[in-house]
Structure 1
Amino acid sequence: MAVSYYTPVSYSPSYPFLLPPPLPLLTHRHASSSYSSYSPPLPSSSSSPRKLHVRHTCAASGVDAKPEVKLETRPMLPPYNVLITGSTKGIGYALAREFLKAGDNVIVCSRSAERVQEAVSSLRNEFGEQHVWGTTCDVRNGQDVKSLVAYAQKNLKHVDIWINNAGSNAYSYKPLAEASDEDLIEVVTTNTLGLMICCREAMKMMINQPRGGHIFNIDGAGSDGRPTPRFAAYGATKRSVVHLTKSLQAELRMQDVKNVVVHNLSPGMVTTDLLMSGANTKQAKFFINVLAEPAEVVAEYLVPNIRGIPASGSTRPTYIRFLTGGLRLGPGEIST
């Protein structure tokens, strides 16, 4: 059984004139319309309910110029058009399946053409050809991401939900002093540069859509500022995810952009290839099996809450967290 542990993190900005103070932290157990116009829906039935925290911040995220677009401020009606980077396996693939189960249209992508073909074929066999598309994309390459946007516009016309899930730890767990240049470049260019490029292109696309859109940036271990020994570079890049999201929220607010919203999404500790690549001892594998959740379980709880945001018509940024034991614990700490 996963251990839930959460220490609230201060999100007061360095420049308080850009962002008002955050609203109270809500959970699905006590969310109320008196706190916000958005109350996350209850998860679907399950054998054991898990805590899902939604932190409301304020503002939105950034682009250079405010376009002349007639905005639609009413709630977005489903089905939604969803694009997920790094979605041919792991949590990205599980999220794609859950959106498709809800009746949405989904584009999956990754660097590997073979994995894209396999994922699209599997999803189409399960959900039909008319709801699933896939293409290759290396998020580190600006032209690749521009081509991804063009592919989405061609097949979906517009994107309501863009999830930045692509990430890497170079499949290497070791002290930073032992990391190669190639390892560090792989981690930083994928997790930081790639995220920036995807946010830039997603915002440029969505700001010209009458109904706008929502961007969700997935964080990971290190995002709360706790140390991440043996994968320090990965943790540092995930810490930057939170800062980037807050900065983009401030930029969009300063430019009075109201139809694009950037959110943080935390899946907690998920049993994926990325995580298991570091399980090089029996003890490590044991704790991962105890604390981590399967990707399918995490996606089952996250997707209804993600979909609830456009459905509500809310334009307020959120921080959606699925709390498993490991990600909210400092290295070497176990809380029961």
Structure 2
Amino acid sequence: MELVGSTAIVTGGSKGIGYAVAGALMAHGADVVITSRHDKEVAEAAATLEAAHQGRRVLPVAADVTSAVDVERLYARAEAELAPVAIAVNNAGIHSYETIAHLSEDDWNGVVDSHLKGTFLGTKAALAHMRASGTAGAIINLGAVDAIATTRGTAHYAAAKAGIAKLTEVAALEAGRHGIRVNTVSPGVIVTPENAGTFSPDFEAAWHRSFAIDRMGEPADVAKAVVFLASDYAGWITGINLLVDGGTHLRGLPDYADYLLGGNE
């Protein structure tokens, strides 16, 4: 299995799923640009990744994915310091949970902009730069099972992720004639170093009842799916939404309002 190119951008690549994706792409031969909104955080992550994957480069860039100026600067730096971008992974986004009755406009805007607008800007920039360089690249957008399996407390997040899946489909139609593939990967619950230990026993038990494959997801599960879609093995796959959720979509999500919001209506 070979990647479609040697340079990748992973937004939100300083921790969690993004960090795992960056490492997996490096393990398969890519140099990677990772982003975070925080200079120190992204620089430390880049140093750790380079130490773990000797011979591969990591370019850390502090960027706000909701800013078109920042996203364009990100691609310009990648091309100036590495090579034309062949793989773009739009992963960055923030999370919060609240029922609609209590959801503020600021919280709605923050979550929807970071996920949906950020993915739009990242996809737009990737398409423009891949077309300009003649690169038959791969764009992978991070969705979520929440867009398919509904629960209370996630209106803003689920709406953004559903929008990403549809954005991906339209982008795949528009990009295919240029040899560029666009797909979505939608994780279920993923345990990361940042959220490990934060689930109550009752909430974790509810997750286990939702699984067909009875274990919590790991960042590596998502990273492997991204690498596959960024490889020649997926050369005739575009416009899909690949669920990486242990089968949660078959039974449904736990009720977030009950477990995270105390049943708040």
Is the TM-score greater than 0.5? Answer: yes
CA deviation after TM superposition for structure 1 residue 323, in Å = 3.6
Residue in structure 1 matched with residue 155 of structure 2 by the alignment: 232
| 1:173-192 deviation line (CA, Å, top 9, x unaligned) | 22122122321111011011
Q: Paired residue for 2:130, among 202, 206, 217?
A: 206
Matched, 1:220 2:144: yes
Aligned length: 250
Matched, 1:322 2:248: no
1 CA distance for matches of 2:139 and 2:190? 21
Q: Which residue identity does 1:322 align to in structure 2?
A: V
Matched, 1:117 2:40: no
1 CA distance for matches of 2:143 and 2:194? 14
CA deviation after TM superposition for structure 1 residue 288, in Å = 4.5
Query: Cα 1:275–1:167, aligned 2, differ >3 Å: closer, same or farther?
Result: farther
1 CA distance for matches of 2:103 and 2:193? 20
1 CA distance for matches of 2:99 and 2:241? 30
Structure whose CA Rg is larger: 1
Give the 5 Å matches for 1:132-143.
132-143=58-69
Q: Is the deviation greater in 126-135 or in 189-198?
A: 126-135
Q: Paired residue for 2:186, among 246, 256, 266?
A: 266
The answer to whether the 8 A contact 1:291-1:325 is kept is no
Give the 5 Å matches for 1:50-61.
none
CA deviation after TM superposition for structure 1 residue 78, in Å = 6.3
Q: Which residue identity does 2:242 align to in structure 1?
A: I
Residue in structure 2 matched with residue 282 of structure 1 by the alignment: 201
CA deviation after TM superposition for structure 1 residue 194, in Å = 1.1
2 CA distance for matches of 1:83 and 1:221? 23
The answer to whether the 8 A contact 1:223-1:241 is kept is no
| 1:18-70 deviation line (CA, Å, top 9, x unaligned) | xxxxxxxxxxxxxxxxxxxxxxx7xxxxxxxxxxxxxxxxxxxxxxxxxxxxx
Query: Cα 1:265–1:168, aligned 2, differ >3 Å: closer, same or farther?
Result: same
Q: Which residue identity does 1:210 align to in structure 2?
A: G
1 CA distance for matches of 2:80 and 2:197? 37
Query: Cα 1:182–1:84, aligned 2, differ >3 Å: closer, same or farther?
Result: same
Residue in structure 2 matched with residue 244 of structure 1 by the alignment: 167
2 CA distance for matches of 1:316 and 1:184? 30
Higher RCO (CA-CA < 8 Å; seq separation 6+): 1
- Percent of pairs with identical residues: 26
User: Which structure has more helix as a fraction of its residues?
Assistant: 2
1 CA distance for matches of 2:249 and 2:194? 14
The answer to whether the 8 A contact 2:35-2:60 is kept is yes
| 1:143-194 deviation line (CA, Å, top 9, x unaligned) | 000100111111222111101111221xx32212212232111101101111
Q: Which residue identity does 1:131 align to in structure 2?
A: R
The answer to whether the 8 A contact 2:190-2:219 is kept is yes
